[in-house]
């Protein structure tokens, strides 16, 4: 007997896209959810970040005031990358392999965390494909410890590991351990606190000049002020606001090519959906900025199945 037929809801992928815009072959970007938070400290919950972003994105308008309609370039969402209990080093390797798979197919990797430690794996893969790449880190924390809680692959060490692979620029930093401060005094890196960033008065040439022609963006949501992003494990006062963050990203995209990105450390709060929606919009904005060089965006109708 033929099963009954009735209307169904939106697919559970980024943007709630139908197959026309979500199929792997025709998509230029691939979203990789990584629900992992083994090394998080203070408040856990980042493992729920990827699903919260996906859920929010299904209710997001697909016309973006700054970048138009990125979904028309195709956005494929992979199944979640299963965490491993072997430890953070093994998980970093798993993220590296998954990111390499995306890059081998000529797609833009858009990674949803999960904790920040996963970035090291993504950067390893991107550096193979793009040997001259640099990293832009937006974050509240330096993440420059050599080891934390007996692991060199903790989320508190990720930028130390990244800087062993490629050059990196950090913006929004306002929390360092004494160990990190002493290390950075001996080994200075391009790093702007929120206060120093604002002192530039939107004259961001020093930041842009420190990046190369190809950039991987790692965006820890605690780089934003907790007034707009309370849903993170280690919030710090004095972060960037929405327009500071996205205007900087636009300036980077206008000067360099964004070859991949991650958005990490969203730890959803029950009953508070605004942070989830902000993170989804941030991912969509980054997709638009990264894809804009190759595809002219024009005002069009939504590609969702429910419209």
Summarize the confidence of residues 251-267 as an average pLDDT. Answer: 97
Mean pLDDT for the stretch of residues 192-221? 97
Q: What is the DSSP letter of 135?
A: E
Q: Does residue 296 register a pLDDT over 50?
A: no
Q: Out of 16-25, 100-109, 145-154, pick the least confident.
A: 145-154
The answer to whether residue 103 scores a pLDDT higher than 80 is yes
Compare 77 and 12 and report the one with higher pLDDT: 77
pLDDT in tens, 136-181: 999 999 998 987 676 777 777 899 999 999 999 999 999 999 999 9
Q: What is the pLDDT of residue 286?
A: 98
* Spatial CB neighbours of 22, under 8 Å, sequence gap ≥ 6: 11, 13, 15, 74, 75, 76, 77
**Pairwise CA distance, residues 98 & 101, whole Å:** 5
Residue 9 covered by a domain: no
Q: What is the mean pLDDT of residues 267-290?
A: 97
Report pLDDT for 149: 75
Local confidence band at 39 (pLDDT 50, 70, 90 cut-offs)? confident
* 196 has pLDDT over 50: yes
Quote the DSSP letter at residue 201.
Answer: T
Confidence of residue 299 (pLDDT cuts 50, 70, 90): very low
Confidence of residue 305 (pLDDT cuts 50, 70, 90): very low
Tell me whether residue 7 is in a domain. no
Does the residue 120 lie in any domain?
yes
Q: Tell me: pLDDT of 304 over 70.
A: no
> What pLDDT sits at residue 303?
42
% of the chain surpassing 70 pLDDT: 93
**Residue-level pLDDT at 297:** 37
Section 50-78 average pLDDT: 97
Query: Which helix (H) or strand (E) is 182 found in, with range?
Result: helix 178-186
Helix (H) / strand (E) element for 219: namely strand 214-220
How confident is the model at residue 219, as a pLDDT? 98
Q: What is the distance between the alpha carbons of residues 18 and 195, in angstroms, rounded to a whole number?
A: 43
> Domain with 99 in it: what CATH number?
3.40.800.10
Quick one: tokens of 246?
Answer: 């996205």
Residue 256 lies in a domain: yes
Question: Does residue 99 lie in a domain region?
Answer: yes
Looking only at the bridges linking them, the beta strands covering 75-77 and 29-34 are parallel
Token digits for 220?
């820890």
Burial class (CB in 10 A: 0-12, 13-18, 19+), 157: buried
- Mean pLDDT, range 254-276, rounded to an integer: 97
The pLDDT value recorded for residue 207 is 98
- Domain of residue 211 covers 29-291
Query: How many domains does one find in the chain?
Result: 1
Within a domain: 22: no
In a domain, 58, yes or no: yes
Local confidence band at 209 (pLDDT 50, 70, 90 cut-offs): very high
Any idea what DSSP says for residue 282?
Answer: H
Q: Quick check: is 298 in a domain?
A: no
> How many CA within 13 A on the CB side of residue 199?
8
pLDDT of residue 148: 67
């Amino acid at each position: 007997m033929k099963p009954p037929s009735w209307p169904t809801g939106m697919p559970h992928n980024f943007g709630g896209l139908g197959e026309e815009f979500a199929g792997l072959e025709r998509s230029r970007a691939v979203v990789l959810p990584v629900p992992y938070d083994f090394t998080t400290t203070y408040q856990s919950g980042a493992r729920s970040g990827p699903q919260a972003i996906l859920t929010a994105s299904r209710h997001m308008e697909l016309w973006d005031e700054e970048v138009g309609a990125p979904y028309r370039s195709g956005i494929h969402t992979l199944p979640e990358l299963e965490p491993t209990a072997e430890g953070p080093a093994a998980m970093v390797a798993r993220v590296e392999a998954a990111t390499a798979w995306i890059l081998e197919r000529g797609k833009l990797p858009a990674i949803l965390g999960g904790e920040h430690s996963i970035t090291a794996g993504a950067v390893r893969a991107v550096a193979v494909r793009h040997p001259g790449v640099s990293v832009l880190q937006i974050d509240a924390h330096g993440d420059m410890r050599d080891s934390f809680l007996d692991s060199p692959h903790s989320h508190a060490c990720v930028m130390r590991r990244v800087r062993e692979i490629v050059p990196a620029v950090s913006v929004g930093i306002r929390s360092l351990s004494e160990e990190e401060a002493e290390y950075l005094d001996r080994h200075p890196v391009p790093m702007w606190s929120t206060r120093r960033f604002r002192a530039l008065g939107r004259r961001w040439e020093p930041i842009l000049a420190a990046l190369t022609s190809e950039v991987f963006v790692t965006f820890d949501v605690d780089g934003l002020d907790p007034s707009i992003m309370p849903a993170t494990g280690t919030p710090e006062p004095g972060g960037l606001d929405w327009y500071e963050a996205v205007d900087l990203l636009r300036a980077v995209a206008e000067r360099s090519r964004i070859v991949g990105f991650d958005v990490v450390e969203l730890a959803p709060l029950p009953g508070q959906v605004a942070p989830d929606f902000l993170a989804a919009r941030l991912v969509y904005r980054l997709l638009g900025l990264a894809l804009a060089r190759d595809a002219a965006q024009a005002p069009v109708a939504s590609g969702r199945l429910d419209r």
